[in-house]
Amino acid sequence: MHGLFTAIATPFDGEGRINGRVLRDIMQWNIRLGANGFFVGGSSGECFLLSEKERLQLLEEAAPFAGKMQLIAHVGALNTEEACRYARKASALGYNMAAATPPFYYPFSPNETVRYYEEIAEAAGGPVLYYNFPGNTGKQLDIGNEAFRRLLTGGAIGAIKQTSLDLKQMERLRHLNPSLRLFGGYDEVMVAAIALGADGSIGSTFNFMAGHFRKIFDLAKAGQAAEALRLQEKANNIMDALCAAGLVPAIKYALSLFGFEAGEARRPFLPLSSQSKEAVRTAIEENLEND
């Protein structure tokens, strides 16, 4: 498990239903741009805005790429049994690994969180990717806590998606358990994550920028820091426009610029204003280097 994983968006048709054909078209395009795999049903895929039936359907729609590309299924849920149902489904469909955010909203104890991951690993039939996204979940991965240290070294966790600007923590995770696969989760700091030993990156903007980030990744791995930083700056110019507009709706709009009708993001997300669309379009035109 290494390289660039696109945190694939979930396309909807005009009736608001999952559009599997467009999903697979975007995935095929990402392969041509240089993606090594896909992170299916994550934050960029609007996971917590989908019904359980839709989340299972989404895993099925992406499954034709199993065995051809590395596939990670995000299965995180508020209750353990729901997460385990997704994990069992992903395993049956041939996904390489299940991933899960920690359970949030309620103040679950470290021991409760540890058991959640252990049960998901049992359902998946193998180690799980810990999706560390404290900015959204409000849950900190406290590697000084004995329960979390037991989790991270006990075999239930095989990888970390570090969607956190705490890059020192990523290095400390490697120190704690050298066998963990570590993935950067913030596209904006890919160069820094690679410098600290990341095995790869899982990115939302890869949906339409996989070629650009392929260059950054390869240059950084080759030690060509100046050119990697130049492209990182251009990527961040685009990211600023996306975040100002609203990241998930803006990614779907960006995909439409390349001919992929991914539909609107689910409410409570709002459609982009004409001004936001223009800002996103301009940023892409002035900075993207996919080829």
Residues marked active site are found at 131, 161
CA distances to 42, 45, 182, 223 from 34, in Å: 20, 20, 19, 19
State the CB neighbour count (10 A cutoff) for residue 2: 15
Place of tokens 């299924």: 73
Token pair recorded at residue 262: 């991914």
The DSSP string of 203-265 is ESTHHHHHHHHHHHHHHHHTT-HHHHHHHHHHHHHHHHHHHHH-HHHHHHHHHHHTT----PP
CB 29 within 8 Å of CB 83: no
The DSSP string of 142-194 is -TTSHHHHHHHHSSSEEEEEE-SS-HHHHHHHHHH-TT-EEEE--GGGHHHHH
> Residues 286, 255, 243, 63: is their CA dihedral positive or negative?
negative
What residues does 184 pair with on adjacent strands?
162, 201
- Measured at the CA of 255, the angle between CA 61 and CA 19, to 5 degrees, comes to 25
